[in-house]
Homo-oligomer: A and B are copies of this chain.
Amino acid sequence: MTGTGLRKGAQPFTPAVEDYAKTLYRLEQQRDAPVATGAIATRLEVSAPSASNMVRNLAQLGLVTVARGRGARLTPAGRELARAVIRRHRIIECFLMDALHLPWDSVHGEADLLEHAVSTRVAEAMWDALGRPVRDPHGDPITPSGDDDPDTDILEPLDACEPDAIGVLVRVSDAQPEALRYMAERGIAPGLPIRVISREPFGVGQRVLIGDTEHIIGPELGRLIFIERTA
């Protein structure tokens, strides 16, 4: 891979380390258990040995403890780093959309590049300039400073909601840009009221009212959309 260049005044951790911490955090919070190195490798699109090595590296930095046998867990320090990176990422996403008016689906990728170069100072200045928003454009929470995502457990994936469920579309996973583009085209975005009309058979998906438009949401998409139930 390409070398690092002259990054003297940069963050205390390398971009790679930050990325691993972030990924660890994500996976750890998905199911609360030690994270397999293979999962990390898949998620970061690196080879298994690369992930294996880097996990050892993180352990040496005190960011991770390797449970004997299988899997790694973040230490408090690691968790703090991960949360700091995620916070920067989300602030940057907000910023790119609200201040620079970049299209929804490109914001996540740009933020991935920027999150390692933007200092905390700059990120906080962005946050202030935006009026300290509470969620990013995909509905992910921007937590005060080092808290856990408060509501990931409250939210339900649309996919899992039975007909007549009512709520607010709060979050849309930013993992797949094409999905975002698809949704943007149809006006599906966080903040809209949502109601499940019915579930179509044969795996077609759900008929859903979002805002005042009816949509057919396939199961793939349904897993990326999260709602806060009101009924």
- Chain A interface residues toward B at CB < 8 A: 1-7, 9-10, 14-19, 44, 46, 96, 99-102, 106, 109-110, 112-114, 116-119, 121-122, 125-126, 128-129
Contacts and interface: CB of A to CB of B under 8 A. Distances in A.
Contacts of A16: 3-6
Q: List the 10 closest pairs (A to B, CB-CB), nearest first.
A: A5-B15, A5-B16, A117-B117, A100-B125, A4-B4, A2-B14, A2-B4, A5-B14, A114-B117, A3-B4
Contact of A2 (B7, B19, B121, B125): B7
B109 A9 contact: yes
A14 B15 CA distance: 14
A125 B102 contact: yes
Nearest to A11: B113
A166 B125 CA distance: 38
A100 B10 CA distance: 19
A110 B100 contact: no
B9 A15 contact: no
Contact of A9 (B3, B4, B112, B129): B112
Number of copies of this chain that the complex holds: 2
Given A2-B7, A14-B3, A15-B6, A129 B114 contact: no
Nearest to A13: B2
A15 B19 contact: no
Contacts of A128: 100
Given A4-B1, A4-B16, A125 B101 contact: yes
A110 B11 CA distance: 11
Given A4-B4, A14-B5, A15-B5, A100 B129 contact: yes
A205 B106 CA distance: 53
Contacts of A10: 2, 113
A9 B109 CA distance: 8
23 contacts: A1-B3, A1-B4, A1-B6, A1-B7, A2-B7, A3-B4, A4-B15, A5-B16, A5-B19, A7-B15, A9-B112, A99-B99, A99-B129, A100-B125, A100-B128, A102-B122, A106-B121, A113-B117, A113-B119, A114-B114, A114-B117, A114-B118, A116-B117
